[in-house]
Amino acid sequence: MKKVVLITGISSGFGKQTARLLSQMGHSVYGTVRKSIQADPGVNVLIMDLTDHKSIREAVRTVVEKEGRIDVLINNAGMHTGGPVETLPSEFLRLQMETSFLGMVHVTREVLPVMRSNNGGRIINISSIGGLMGLPFQGFYSASKFAVEGFSEALRMETAGFNIRVVVINPGDFHTNNSLNRRSYLAPSGPEDPYAAQFKKSLAIIEHDEGKGWDPALLAKTLARIVECANPRQRYIVGSFDQKLAVLLKKVLPGRLFRMILAGHYGLRQKP
Ligand SMILES: NC(=O)c1ccc[n+]([C@@H]2O[C@H](COP(=O)([O-])OP(=O)(O)OC[C@H]3O[C@@H](n4cnc5c(N)ncnc54)[C@H](OP(=O)(O)O)[C@@H]3O)[C@@H](O)[C@H]2O)c1
């Protein structure tokens, strides 16, 4: 059955591939961008900045005026800051939370009454493996994704009675514009910076992992399956064997041991 899908952040990465695939499958797709783009045929483009509440309200209103309903919301748009918690500029903290967490909350709150009046819907929130474990020098990013996790768990219970399903996606490393965009949100680091050497080493590993990450079209296929299936799971972890293993190890290993393993991956020296 054709569904009305609203997806945030379709200028690149997961959003672009997912909007393309869903519209090719015959769904009525509305995708948001901050700056006007030439989207794929069949994809309706709306202007929305997650840090601008008015633009969120207007975008949701446009879909409702045209379609009368929203069946699926994919909260995808996000950004990624990088740097030490101590020295990453505070405005990056604000931007990280406003984009990856508060923006998602505002979009969801606008869409919920629409779904309730339509007797149901599906909300798919893009979290991260970094929403399941704090990642070094990605502290603000991880915090925003941990917030997405708590928000989604609570929302799922509140809305189940209205036939609204909440699904969380935890992608591992995918090759998108994520790394490129992060370059504008890195902590400034000079010779006096006590974290500089470790940050540099970790950043190289982060970018290496992302560089050899999977094609975002793969995640788009998973999202399309979730849009169409009758009974989606609550969570989908989509990543390499190592990334899935890390999620499992965090659950079963003593905290200190897990920290040593994770820090080792990022080349960080640790005192036990
Ligand atoms: N790639 C990965 O390895 C990975 C892993 C785990 C989770 N994720 C998550 O997946 C989601 C999509 O990321 P991606 O990898 O596809 O990265 P991407 O290619 O950089 O796409 C991010 C999208 O979000 C939009 N966006 C950024 N800030 C925004 C704002 N303030 N308001 C509205 N839209 C905004 C961007 O639009 P502009 O063109 O206007 O900037 C872009 O369309 C994010 O939530 C990210 O955290 C990615």
Ordered by start, the domain boundaries in the chain are: 4-265
- Choosing from 141, 185, 195, 266, the catalytic residue is 141
CA of 79 to the centre of ligand 1 (A): 5
User: pTM of the prediction?
Assistant: 0.97
Q: Residue whose CA is closest, atom 17 of ligand 1?
A: 178
CA of 147 to the centre of ligand 1 (A): 17
- Extract the runs of DSSP E, i.e. beta strands, from the chain: 4-7, 28-33, 43-47, 72-75, 121-126, 164-171, 235-238
From the alpha carbon of 180, which atom of ligand 1 is closest?
Answer: 20
142 is catalytic: no
Report whether 169 contacts 238 (CB < 8 A): yes
Residue 150 CA from chain centroid, whole number: 14
250 is catalytic: no
- Choosing from 145, 152, 179, 202, the catalytic residue is 145
Spatial distance between the Cα atoms of 55 and 109, rounded to a whole number of angstroms: 14
Residue 34 confidence (pLDDT): 97
Nearest CA among 60, 79, 55 for reference residue 70: 60
Q: Residue whose CA is closest, atom 1 of ligand 1?
A: 174
| Per-residue three-class SS string for 12-79 | CHHHHHHHHHHHHCCCEEEEEECCCCCCCCCEEEEECCCCCHHHHHHHHHHHHHHHCCCCEEEECCCC
Mean pLDDT score of the chain: 95
Spatial distance between the Cα atoms of 228 and 86, rounded to a whole number of angstroms: 44
Residue 122 confidence (pLDDT): 98
From the alpha carbon of 173, which atom of ligand 1 is closest?
Answer: 3
Q: Residue whose CA is closest, atom 27 of ligand 1?
A: 78
Residue 187 confidence (pLDDT): 86
Q: What tens digit of pLDDT does each residue of 43-87 get? A: 999 999 999 999 999 999 999 999 999 999 999 999 999 999 999
> Is beta strand 28-33 parallel, antiparallel or unpaired with respect to 4-7?
parallel
CA of 46 to the centre of ligand 1 (A): 16
Instruction: Please determine, for residue 183, whether its predicted confidence score (pLDDT) is greater than 90.
Output: no
CATH of domain 4-265: 3.40.50.720
pLDDT-based confidence at residue 188 (cuts at 50, 70, 90): confident
Window from 88-92, 206-210, 231-235, 267-271 with minimum mean pLDDT = 267-271
240 is catalytic: no
Is 22 buried (19+), middle (13-18) or exposed (0-12) by CB count in 10 A? buried
From the alpha carbon of 95, which atom of ligand 1 is closest?
Answer: 31
As for ligand 1, residues whose beta carbon falls within 6 Å of it are: 8-15, 33-35, 48-51, 76-80, 99-100, 126, 128, 171, 173-174, 176-178, 181, 210, 213, 216
What is the 8-class DSSP label of residue 82?
A: B
Angle between helices 53-67 and 103-117 (to 10 degrees): 30
Report whether 241 contacts 111 (CB < 8 A): no
Position of tokens 């984009």? 99
> Which residue type, as a one-letter code, is found at position 90?
S
pLDDT-based confidence at residue 31 (cuts at 50, 70, 90): very high
From the alpha carbon of 129, which atom of ligand 1 is closest?
Answer: 6
11 is catalytic: yes
CA of 222 to the centre of ligand 1 (A): 17
Instruction: Please determine, for residue 95, whether its predicted confidence score (pLDDT) is greater than 90.
Output: yes
